[in-house]
Amino acid sequence: MADEQASLSFSGDNTPSSPTMIPEHPVRLGVPIDYTRIKNILALPTVEEQIDAFGVFRNWFRQENDSPSYALLQKYMSGTISLSETVDKIAAPIEELWRSGDNCGAEPTDEPEEGYPWTSAVGSLMDLWYGVMHMAKRTPWTDNAAHQKLVDLILAFRARPPPTRSAEQAALIEKVNPGYWDDDEGKLWSELPWYGLCAAEVKNDCPNCGSGCQYAEGIAHTNLNSYQARLSLVDEPTARWNQELLALSMALGREEDPEVLDALVPAAAVWILILRERLYEKKLVEIKPAGTWRPKWPGELWTEPERGMIHIFSKAKWSFWKCRFMHLAGDERLEEETTQIAGCAAEVMDAIERGEG
């Protein structure tokens, strides 16, 4: 599987293929369009730099600019520090905040609070998860080793032993801040508290929603979905809320302008290319009523029979997705990268159905 993924030339080196500026839709984004700034971002030499710049420009959910955990994450991804050292250095200050109830009982000060969110265990955790997901956005989806490092990091945090409080710390928190960190907020670290909320917010920064459809934004969306698919591949609990259905439905469920399809279709395809038969065998079930789809476009291409059924798999949906990928593979309006990866997804789906996936 890894060899098949690596053989695809979809943005493998994260170098822009001379991207041109795509006209944007003010109504969709809900903000004025600053084409001068977009042009300057597209002139940056690498996709990583463009993704970072778009994150600031679009106000994505992401880590703080001076995030200490993100600085350590960068060192980890570059191989400067080990997995265990990364987890220890990131976790230690968060655990200390948790033990102390975010330093409850400390002497009050009239000085403005500095260092937020580092003064809060919750803020520090959210900054960490945002940083991991932003790193995933800037990591080429074909770089299996790099994405595996991110998966290993999440697994290592979940496996970390929980911190404990002394009797004095517990008594002080009960006295000063009795509602601090109740069970509903999740156990540190086994439940990865606040990860799910951060993942949902980051997902909202997808093209044609919280982002535009410029080349680098589509790449970031694909890379993020690759990371999420790999978490699903190892049955990581954070990947249990059917993110693949959302990606596939967004990209394939309705006709869109070519630039929107170029930004969304590759992200849908990576779920097929990474999960492969796991998606077909372990999650695909027959649901009645199955829904309907129109073999001829344009228009709404897939209609759910009941509200909320977008979150349910069915064999009818699988057939629709395959047919749609096949159609997009021959769509001359789309970029070559899009038609290529759509064709690969259709071929893999066909092979899976034949038992050769």
Concatenating the DSSP letter of every residue in 106-172 gives PPP-SSPP-STTTT-HHHHHHHHHHHHHHHHHTS-TT-HHHHHHHHHHHHHHHHSPPP---HHHHHH
Report the predicted TM-score, pTM, of the whole model to 2 decimal places.
Answer: 0.88
- Helix/strand/coil for 207: strand
Count of beta carbons in the 10 Å neighbourhood of residue 90: 24
Per-residue confidence (pLDDT) for residue 30, from 0 to 100: 53
Helix (H), strand (E) counts: the chain: 16, 2
Q: Which residues of the chain have pLDDT under 50?
A: 1-13, 16, 27, 110, 112, 115, 288-289, 293-299, 306-309
Sign (positive/negative) of CA torsion 65, 15, 60, 21? positive
* Residue among 231, 273, 239 nearest 2 (CA): 273
Per-residue confidence (pLDDT) for residue 1, from 0 to 100: 43
Whole-angstrom Cα distance, residue 208 to residue 249? 14
Whole-angstrom Cα distance, residue 170 to residue 174? 6
DSSP state, residue 244: H
Per-residue confidence (pLDDT) for residue 301, from 0 to 100: 56
Per-residue confidence (pLDDT) for residue 77, from 0 to 100: 99
Q: Which two tokens stand for residue 282?
A: 């372990």
DSSP state, residue 300: B
Q: Any bridge partners for residue 292, and if so which?
A: 303
Q: Check if the beta carbon of residue 180 is closer than 8 Å to that of residue 172.
A: no
Per-residue confidence (pLDDT) for residue 313, from 0 to 100: 78
Question: What are the extents of the domains in the chain?
Answer: 2-60+205-353, 68-185
Per-residue confidence (pLDDT) for residue 16, from 0 to 100: 47
Checking 74-82 for CB contacts under 8 A at 24+ apart, the result is: 74/135, 76/149, 76/153, 77/135, 77/139, 77/146, 77/149, 77/150
Q: Which two tokens stand for residue 132?
A: 């991991």
